């Protein structure tokens, strides 16, 4: 039997939403493990900060502006990556998020949520995963190998209260992960794998206002519920997602495709009693 390898050194990793809280941590850690990282983000200046930090630490990274909902923008970003590195080994579809206007609250009843807010969340998360996979996945199909890691959520397994559109979009991403895994393996190459991670609760820009009271800095009732439902009784840290990503992107997971890996402090396993 061959040696199990988690080595990703020299691999080219493309990270969408790469300047965000979670994906900047992924970008930095992937570089520390030897990957060449293309940090893609709608905001080039923020992506540049992440890439500059990686390079200053001895890593190899570039910042690339990319709107994941605009195919022309994605294709332009792909050309930049290919001109620099010549291939794409890993695609992490990290762009996504929620917005207050698509979330039920005392001020926003379900009946009043505007269509444009629902569409914004659905498109950013679902189409913002599908469209980069169309472009960078074509590179992988031409190469005959590659690995895609999508970002699902606990909300994909059981929809969370309040976050109607976000829960639906993440469920769609889990479904797409399975569909794409089968499609690539059957139509192009069994060396192209598609998986997802499903983070538990981490404090991000998108959920902070739901979990932390902005006036007191204490946990909201929802935040208290989340901590109770998480057996480890804490929020996750962005770096704690990286191990799962490296596993899925490495040869250690060479026979793994079409899965959604929970990284959740036990949230999914706990019934609440």
Active site residues: 166
Rounded Cα distance between 230 and 227, Å, is 5
Provide the sign of the torsion angle of the four alpha carbons 130, 136, 142, 145, taken in this order: negative
* Backbone torsion region of residue 250, taken as left when φ is above 0, otherwise alpha when ψ lies between -120 and 50, otherwise beta: beta
Rounded Cα distance between 237 and 259, Å, is 22
Within 8 A by CB and 6+ apart from 137, the residues are: 91, 146, 148, 180, 184, 192
DSSP 140-195: HHHHT-EEEEEE--GGGTSPPSS-HHHHHHHHHHHHHHHHHHHHHHHHT-TTEEEE
3-state secondary structure string across 170-184: HHHHHHHHHHHHHHH
DSSP 207-239: THHHHB-TTT-SBPHHHHHHHHHSTT-S-B-GG
Q: Which helix (H) or strand (E) covers residue 45, if one does?
A: helix 44-56
169 with 122: CB under 8 angstroms? yes
Work out the angle at residue 150's Cα, subtended by the Cα atoms of residues 146 and 153, and round it to the nearest 5 degrees. Answer: 160
Rounded Cα distance between 93 and 153, Å, is 13
């Amino acid at each position: 039997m061959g040696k199990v390898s988690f080595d990703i050194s020299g691999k080219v990793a493309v990270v969408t939403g790469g300047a965000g809280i979670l994906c900047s941590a992924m970008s930095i850690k992937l570089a520390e493990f030897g990957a060449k990282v293309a940090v893609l983000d709608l905001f080039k200046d923020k992506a540049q900060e992440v890439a500059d930090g990686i390079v200053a630490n001895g890593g190899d990274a570039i910042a690339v502006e990319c709107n994941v909902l605009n195919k022309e923008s994605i294709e332009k970003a792909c050309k930049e990556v290919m001109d620099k590195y010549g291939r794409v080994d890993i695609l992490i579809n990290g762009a996504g998020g929620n917005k207050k206007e698509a979330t039920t609250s005392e001020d926003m009843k379900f009946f009043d949520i505007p269509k444009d807010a629902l569409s914004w969340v659905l498109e950013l998360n679902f189409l913002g995963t599908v469209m980069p996979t169309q472009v960078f996945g074509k590179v992988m199909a031409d190469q005959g190998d590659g690995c895609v890691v999508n970002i699902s959520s606990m909300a994909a397994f059981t929809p969370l209260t309040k976050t109607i559109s976000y829960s639906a979009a993440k469920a769609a991403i889990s479904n797409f992960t399975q569909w794409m895994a089968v499609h690539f393996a059957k139509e192009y190459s069994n060396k192209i794998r598609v998986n997802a991670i499903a983070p538990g609760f981490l404090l991000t820009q998108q959920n902070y206002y739901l979990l932390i009271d902005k006036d007191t800095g204490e946990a909201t009732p929802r935040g208290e519920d989340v901590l109770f439902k998480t057996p480890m009784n804490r929020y996750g840290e962005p770096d704690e997602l990286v191990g799962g990503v490296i596993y899925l992107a490495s040869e250690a997971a060479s026979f793994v495709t079409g899965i959604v890996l929970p990284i959740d402090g036990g949230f999914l396993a706990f019934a609440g009693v």
